[in-house]
Amino acid sequence: MCYIVDEHSMVIMKKAIFLATMLGVFFIGTAPILAQEKPQKAAKEKAEGEKAPALYDYEPGYLAAEAARRAEIERIRLLIDSMDIPASRRFKLIRDLYKSKESKRLNKVLLTKTQFEDNKMKKNPD
C-alpha cells in the first residue's frame, strides 16, 4: 500500500507540527512561572499569621519616636537646604544630621540660622 502525498497536504502537516511544537514549548515555559507562585502564596499567608516583632513589646512608642525623628530630620534638612552655603559644607551638615543628633558643626549652624531668623522677625514684625 503506497500513499501519495501532495505538496498541499505536506505544507498543512508541517504547519500542524510547527504549531504543536510551539504550544509545547509555551506550556513548558509557563510551568516554572506557575510553580513560583505557590511558595510565594504560602510565605505571604505565613507572614500575615506572625505576630509583631518583640521590639514593639518592650518599647511600645518606638514607631511614634521614629516618625517624630524622621519629621525632625526633614525639618532640619529643609533649614540646611535653605541656607546659602557651599555644597560640600551642606553635604557635611546633612551627614552629621543623619549620623547623630548632637554635632558641634550642626548645632553651630542651626543656632546661627535661628538667631538670624529671630533678628529678622524683630526688625520686620509683619
What is the structure's pLDDT at 83?
A: 82
> Could you tell me the CA-to-CA distances from 11 to 17, 20, 24, 112 in Å, in that order?
10, 14, 20, 86
One pLDDT digit (tens) per residue for the chain, 126 residues:
556 667 777 888 889 999 999 999 888 887 777 666 666 666 777 766 667 677 777 887 888 888 998 998 898 888 888 888 889 988 888 888 888 777 888 888 777 766 666 666 666 665
What is the structure's pLDDT at 119?
A: 63
> Could you tell me the CA-to-CA distances from 99 to 12, 31, 103, 123 in Å, in that order?
72, 48, 9, 36
3-state helix, strand, coil in the chain (%, to 5): 80, 0, 20
Please answer whether residues 97 and 76 qualify as being in contact, where contact means their C-beta atoms are separated by less than 8 angstroms: yes
CA atoms within 13 A on the CB side of 70: 6
